[in-house]
Structure 1
Amino acid sequence: MNATQRRRHVALLHSTGYEDSPALTVQSTDGEIPQGRELSFAWLTGTVMTGLTSVLLMGAALYVSFQGQDTFSTAYAALNLAAPRIDQPLATDLTSKTSRLRPVAATRSDREVIEASTRQMVEGREIIRNQPFVRISATLATTGTSLSADIPAYDPVAILNKTQPITSVALDIASDVYGTDVDGEVAVSQSSLPADFVPVRSVSDQSAADFVRGIGGSQFTVDGGPALAYAALAPAVSELGQAGTISGVAENVTVVPKTALASGESLGRTERFLTVRELGPFGDTLLRNGFTGAQVGMVENTLANLIPAGGLPAGLRLRILYGPISQSGDSLVPYRMSIYQPDGAPGDRHIATVALSDNGQYVVGLQPDWVDFPAEDVEQINVGNLPTIYRSIWETGRKHDLDDTTIERIIGMFAYDIDMTKRITAGDTIEILEADDAGGTGADELLYVSLTLSGTKREFYRFSTDDGVVDFYDPDGETGKRFLNRRPLEGGGTLRSRFGYRIHPIFKTRKLHTGVDLAARTGTPIYAAGDGVISYYKWQSGYGNKIEVQHVNGYETAYGHLSRFVDGLGVGSQVRQGQVIGYVGSTGQSTGPHLHFEILINGNLVDPLSVKLPKDNVLAAQYREEFDQTIAQISELMARDPAPVTVAAATN
């Protein structure tokens, strides 16, 4: 570059604002203009720190978002470190309408031991001995915790296997409860009375008449002589009309909630207040209230130096706050647990509080805002937390130490009458009676179950017939097993459309929906709802691939929109209840993969989910009297006072 070109470039640079100046410096006194060429380390450091902070905040926000959480500091919010202690009553008014207070429902969780004398045959001898029974009376769990996180997926067909009669049992309790308590063990032997034996008269006619006169009553005269009149114990016919409302079980009625808000609610926080009435190992109490084994270990280590020297007393109060671990989960975890002294105990009521930290550890926390403990155990009601009936029974059963086989049988008893995928209602209850460790086998024998849902009570009693087969029957002598399965596909599907008039999703006109739509993934197995013969097995306009099965007594079922049929079946093939006959698809006029399921009775379409279906098994009339006796015996056991239980003193 020559001198002329160099001058031209310099002129162009000056015209654009560039100039020849001293180099940048960290000394503010250098340069022609003070401060003009200074390089500030403070400014540079601030700029770099601002960038790093922005990167960290953005990274934390992305991490929380990818984890599905709604907050990054759950444990801090649970601790309420900055919240002042304010005495406030616990909201127990279920009718109050407020956005600040959640309704609270009383909970019951009683596992009691009762004793009764039973007759048993031992080596050909009839023995009368005291038999312990376990009685459980509890409200169904309103939250799903780690107790039921690993339960098997709901499958109506798999439940069929859980309703089969029992053929091998350790104790036949039917008609074995002895009417009088005995001390120890009594052997009973029977022999014929001599033919000339005449019992000694112990009560004379005169003493009987004197006894009747002595118990009181109204006297009146008959044929000139005094007589006694007594009021009948039973109510008169005129009084029956004043006895109150007669209740019953609604049949052929579809019950739906007023709103579907609960189904769309996400999991939220809830709080449980309970009393530990019989304190055994503290870890067992935590396990029954949603703590995992690992969490119990962390809590016990955290509380090691906070528990009083004498150990935890019986009657202590627990206050547990639950919340979701992530938005994608369906279980709640304990965020915080506070332990309080029993009512009336001297000293400070608060013993200790632990809370879940951000890294999944339980650490010591501050006492939360004080509330007055209710007399009974209660739990907040959050519609987003209400589990399905299926999961709630699992949660409640495991909380009361029922084995999984017993829980599955209980679910199988009610699965034909109840939609197990529906959410429970706060206040629903379950009652169970078991023979404690029957026969020394280490497993309890289930004797009685009652389930109360939305005010309707259903009961089943254990009964053994002469052939040694044991099954469970309702008070009318019918088993829970139904003639047809109402949701005949693997997993039961998700109810998308009910029976009745609706706006057609394709044609947008009001038409009768002739069945129910149960959504499931393409390829999900479809089962025969009951025993029958296939009468239709091909494509039909609108239904796509369709199967029709003829059952006895004028019943017929139909299955539409199948993706494919099962090889080897066709018109005339006999199928058994629970046999795979096809697979879910979206053929025909369909907006997505689902099973369209119909039930017809004598050619008339009915609602598959609410129609009353005949029972599959009914107790023979010859057992009616003995079965009534069994019902009376079990009812008497359910009403007995619990036996005294000795609890070992808790240690550190």
Structure 2
Amino acid sequence: MNAAQRNRHASLLRASGFEDGPALTLQSTDGDIPQGRELSFAWLSGTVMTGLTSVLLMGAALYVSFQGQDTFSTAYKALQLAAPKIEQRVVDSTAKSSRVRPVAATRSDLEIVEASIRQVVDGREIIRNQPFTRLRATLATTATNLSADAPAYDPVAILNATQPLQAVALDLNADVYGTDVDGEVAVRQADMPLTFVPPTAVTDQVAADFVRGMAEATFYTEDAPPTLAYAALGPSLSDLAKQDDAVTANGIAENVTVVPKTTLGGDTGPARTERFLTVREIGPLSDTLIRNGFTSAQVAMVQNTLANLIPATGLPAGIRLRILYGPLTSGSNSLVPYRMSIYRPEGAQGDPHIATVALSDNGQYVVGLQPDWVEFPQEDIEQINVGNLPTVYRSIWETGRKHDLDDETIQRIVGMFAYDVDMTKRISAGDTIDILETQDSPDAKPELLYVALTLSGTKRQLYRFATEDGTVDFYDPDGETGKRFLNRRPLEGGGTLRSRFGYRVHPIFHTRKLHTGVDLAAKSGTPIYAAGDGVISYYRWQSGYGNKIEVQHVNGYETAYGHLSRFVDGLGVGSKVRQGQVIGYVGSTGQSTGPHLHFEILINGNLVDPLSVKLPKDNVLAAQYKDSFRQTMAQIDELMARNDATPVKVADAH
């Protein structure tokens, strides 16, 4: 750069206000007042300290105001409270997403039906009306505090719950005189007098004409189908296939596991679900809240908050409720009510929205703003988050307590189906349960008569039946009890399924090979039970299996238990064990990556899938009771199908 260019640049810099001043200095105390080119360490330090102090004070104030909680803005973030928008119509108010959550209609019909029954009292045969409680309900798709204290899943407890009862069964007779009886009717049976001659109902001539017409229609008419025939043997499988070229042979596939297609939850945030229901009859607000997952303490808070808005007599019929549920803490198995909104009956005058209560950060229910409006359905529905679907075990407990079943009855229902159903699997939306029991009275508690469980489209029915010795048990339509010869998950709590039967990549050797059983993970030291009655045939270490037990059962069945941490003292080869007896404890011995039970079932020396193999029933009804059992089934089926003109409603379990 030459001299002329340097002068031109200097002129431009001066014109822009640039000054060629001295360098910055730290000597701020040389003069009376610090100059513009000097720095003050005291001033800088004071400014920084003031800022830090302000931040600390504001942080402490916020911490105290939130009472030490580490999650803030729950009411806004989780509840998404918004200003009232009565005119707005939206589809999903629980999440701002284009994906619509699945919606399932929930059914909850609890009714009283009456039928005449026959009993022998003091040697007299009495016919009287008996009320029965009939429940038809959808299995709960949300696990709330209502079932949070349900006992842990335990096969031994299930064995105890499914033992036969000793009671006097009712003799149902729903068709006595074709109508219900008033009061009680005493029946006395006597021999027919020898002099009694019944009147003739059909003359000889009418009978002869009937026989002649039948014969002519059978043998002398070209196109008429035969009306008389012999009892031929059943068609073979090939004969069935020839009926229609387009139709294949039908049958029942045994030892086949049907796995329904499941959808994983798409939300990564808190799994929320919302319930819409209508109060069918007037009743206390507390009853409705408890049946829908509110604890007693939460009910008291809600009632105090809504004291001036809800009548003292309770919620009138037609009132609509909208309840939003979510987890209280991360990883919680139970959902708590985040928000509840109350709306007037359809067509009522005034603002449809009455009040909303929401759970605040400090665990109190306070008055909240109305959520975005949605059209209330005619039937009760629940928006489902598939990640919230409970296990079959938890859902049965939730549904039973919602409908005021006692814990003993719920435990028995679980035990009746535990051998056929994997209680640790999640339910599917729309699964149902039907129950029939005698009505509660001051003299006797309700007696369970019938239970039907429908899971993934498969219906299982069990009927109560009493034999001559007074033993009462529950049998399926084929006269077999729900109890199985072997338990499929023989350890305390049932364990967590980690690996199924079949070919897999070995977790240690990383080669593809057959997994000969199922792996049920549990804590080290968890008791392991004998899957069925039998004799121990192997009771020591085996390479790969670690500590291993083998039990021989009748009819060619054998079970094996591997990776035990230790055996039970006093047992050995030749020891007889009973179903449910502790024989060892969960461990990780042998070739194992963690504590679990490796469980195998062999039939005539062949390995089978323990979770899907068809197992024989533990007890079958004797042939002498078949006719009586079929009559009992018909009577119970009639009560379940009865549609009285004016059924007596007990409650809608809302």
Scaled to the shorter chain, the TM-score interval is 0.7 to 0.9
**In 1: Cα distance, 2:580 partner to 2:266 partner:** 29
2:54 alignment partner in structure 1: 49
- 1:527 lines up with 2:529 in the alignment: yes
Deviates more, 1:616-625 or 1:78-87: 78-87
**In 2: Cα distance, 1:515 partner to 1:646 partner:** 50
- 1:450 lines up with 2:452 in the alignment: yes
Deviates more, 1:38-47 or 1:541-550: 38-47
One-letter amino acid of the counterpart of residue 511, structure 2 = T
For these two proteins, the number of residue pairs brought into alignment is: 602
Matches within 5 A, 1:24-103: 48-54=53-59, 72-74=73-75, 77-78=78-79, 80-82=81-83, 84-88=85-89, 90=91, 99-103=98-102
**In 2: Cα distance, 1:136 partner to 1:377 partner:** 16
> Structure 1 residues 271 and 264, CA, compared in 2 at 3 Å: closer, same or farther?
closer
Asked if the contact 1:119–1:178 (Cα under 8 Å) also holds between the matched residues in 2, the reply is no
**In 2: Cα distance, 1:161 partner to 1:388 partner:** 21
**In 1: Cα distance, 2:295 partner to 2:479 partner:** 41
> Structure 1 residues 405 and 497, CA, compared in 2 at 3 Å: closer, same or farther?
same
2:307 alignment partner in structure 1: 304
Q: 2:546 aligns with which of 544, 547, 558?
A: 544
Q: Tell me by how many angstroms 1:173 deviates.
A: 2.5
Q: Tell me by how many angstroms 1:58 deviates.
A: 8.0
Asked if the contact 2:391–2:423 (Cα under 8 Å) also holds between the matched residues in 1, the reply is yes
SS in structure 1 opposite 2:489? coil
The CA deviation string for residues 431-455 of structure 1, in whole angstroms up to 9 with x for no partner, is 00011126x4342110000000000
2:374 alignment partner in structure 1: 371
Q: 2:257 aligns with which of 230, 254, 257?
A: 254
Q: Tell me by how many angstroms 1:187 deviates.
A: 1.2
2:113 alignment partner in structure 1: 114
One-letter amino acid of the counterpart of residue 150, structure 1 = D
- 1:127 lines up with 2:126 in the alignment: yes
SS in structure 2 opposite 1:78? coil
1:276 alignment partner in structure 2: 279
2:181 alignment partner in structure 1: 182
2:637 alignment partner in structure 1: 635
> Structure 1 residues 198 and 109, CA, compared in 2 at 3 Å: closer, same or farther?
same
One-letter amino acid of the counterpart of residue 125, structure 2 = E
Asked if the contact 1:532–1:551 (Cα under 8 Å) also holds between the matched residues in 2, the reply is yes
1:340 alignment partner in structure 2: 343
One-letter amino acid of the counterpart of residue 19, structure 1 = T
- 1:571 lines up with 2:573 in the alignment: yes
**In 2: Cα distance, 1:414 partner to 1:244 partner:** 34
One-letter amino acid of the counterpart of residue 419, structure 2 = Y
> Structure 1 residues 263 and 126, CA, compared in 2 at 3 Å: closer, same or farther?
farther
Q: Tell me by how many angstroms 1:415 deviates.
A: 0.4
Q: Tell me by how many angstroms 1:51 deviates.
A: 3.2
> Structure 1 residues 391 and 196, CA, compared in 2 at 3 Å: closer, same or farther?
same
The CA deviation string for residues 451-471 of structure 1, in whole angstroms up to 9 with x for no partner, is 000000000000000000000
Deviates more, 1:45-54 or 1:139-148: 45-54
Q: Tell me by how many angstroms 1:279 deviates.
A: 2.4
2:423 alignment partner in structure 1: 420
One-letter amino acid of the counterpart of residue 199, structure 1 = P
Asked if the contact 2:476–2:482 (Cα under 8 Å) also holds between the matched residues in 1, the reply is yes
**In 1: Cα distance, 2:143 partner to 2:553 partner:** 39
SS in structure 1 opposite 2:409? helix
**In 2: Cα distance, 1:342 partner to 1:208 partner:** 65
Q: Tell me by how many angstroms 1:204 deviates.
A: 6.8
Asked if the contact 1:75–1:355 (Cα under 8 Å) also holds between the matched residues in 2, the reply is no
- 1:355 lines up with 2:365 in the alignment: no
Asked if the contact 1:118–1:178 (Cα under 8 Å) also holds between the matched residues in 2, the reply is no
One-letter amino acid of the counterpart of residue 29, structure 2 = E
One-letter amino acid of the counterpart of residue 173, structure 1 = L
**In 1: Cα distance, 2:34 partner to 2:559 partner:** 98
> Structure 1 residues 294 and 442, CA, compared in 2 at 3 Å: closer, same or farther?
farther
2:556 alignment partner in structure 1: 554
**In 2: Cα distance, 1:296 partner to 1:277 partner:** 20
- 1:162 lines up with 2:189 in the alignment: no
- 1:504 lines up with 2:506 in the alignment: yes
Q: Tell me by how many angstroms 1:303 deviates.
A: 1.4
Could you tell me which runs of 5 or more consecutive residues in structure 2 were left unpaired when the two chains were aligned: 1-23, 219-223, 228-239
**In 2: Cα distance, 1:265 partner to 1:479 partner:** 43
**In 2: Cα distance, 1:545 partner to 1:158 partner:** 26
One-letter amino acid of the counterpart of residue 405, structure 1 = E
**In 1: Cα distance, 2:579 partner to 2:611 partner:** 17
Q: Tell me by how many angstroms 1:85 deviates.
A: 4.4
The CA deviation string for residues 568-598 of structure 1, in whole angstroms up to 9 with x for no partner, is 1111111111111111111111111111100
**In 2: Cα distance, 1:592 partner to 1:321 partner:** 39
**In 1: Cα distance, 2:172 partner to 2:470 partner:** 14
**In 2: Cα distance, 1:46 partner to 1:425 partner:** 57
One-letter amino acid of the counterpart of residue 112, structure 2 = V
Matches within 5 A, 1:457-472: 457-472=459-474
Give % identity.
Answer: 69
> Structure 1 residues 532 and 47, CA, compared in 2 at 3 Å: closer, same or farther?
closer
Deviates more, 1:344-353 or 1:148-157: 344-353
Q: Tell me by how many angstroms 1:331 deviates.
A: 0.7
1:485 alignment partner in structure 2: 487
1:287 alignment partner in structure 2: 290
**In 1: Cα distance, 2:455 partner to 2:47 partner:** 70
The CA deviation string for residues 535-572 of structure 1, in whole angstroms up to 9 with x for no partner, is 11111111111111111100001111111111111111
Q: Tell me by how many angstroms 1:383 deviates.
A: 1.1
> Structure 1 residues 528 and 198, CA, compared in 2 at 3 Å: closer, same or farther?
same
Q: Tell me by how many angstroms 1:249 deviates.
A: 6.1
1:411 alignment partner in structure 2: 414
SS in structure 2 opposite 1:384? helix
Asked if the contact 2:460–2:476 (Cα under 8 Å) also holds between the matched residues in 1, the reply is yes
In the superposition, the TM-score normalised over structure 2's length comes to 0.83
1:19 alignment partner in structure 2: 29
> Structure 1 residues 157 and 219, CA, compared in 2 at 3 Å: closer, same or farther?
closer
SS in structure 1 opposite 2:169? coil
**In 2: Cα distance, 1:432 partner to 1:266 partner:** 37
2:235 alignment partner in structure 1: none
Q: Tell me by how many angstroms 1:353 deviates.
A: 1.6
**In 2: Cα distance, 1:390 partner to 1:158 partner:** 13
Could you tell me which runs of 5 or more consecutive residues in structure 1 were left unpaired when the two chains were aligned: 1-13, 23-30, 93-97, 213-217, 224-228
Q: How much is the aligned-residue C-alpha RMSD, in angstroms?
A: 3.8
Asked if the contact 2:283–2:314 (Cα under 8 Å) also holds between the matched residues in 1, the reply is no
Asked if the contact 1:79–1:355 (Cα under 8 Å) also holds between the matched residues in 2, the reply is no
SS in structure 2 opposite 1:553? helix
1:173 alignment partner in structure 2: 170
In the superposition, the TM-score normalised over structure 1's length comes to 0.83
Q: Tell me by how many angstroms 1:88 deviates.
A: 2.0
2:193 alignment partner in structure 1: 194
Q: Tell me by how many angstroms 1:157 deviates.
A: 2.1
Asked if the contact 1:75–1:356 (Cα under 8 Å) also holds between the matched residues in 2, the reply is no
Deviates more, 1:480-489 or 1:291-300: 291-300
**In 1: Cα distance, 2:287 partner to 2:640 partner:** 26
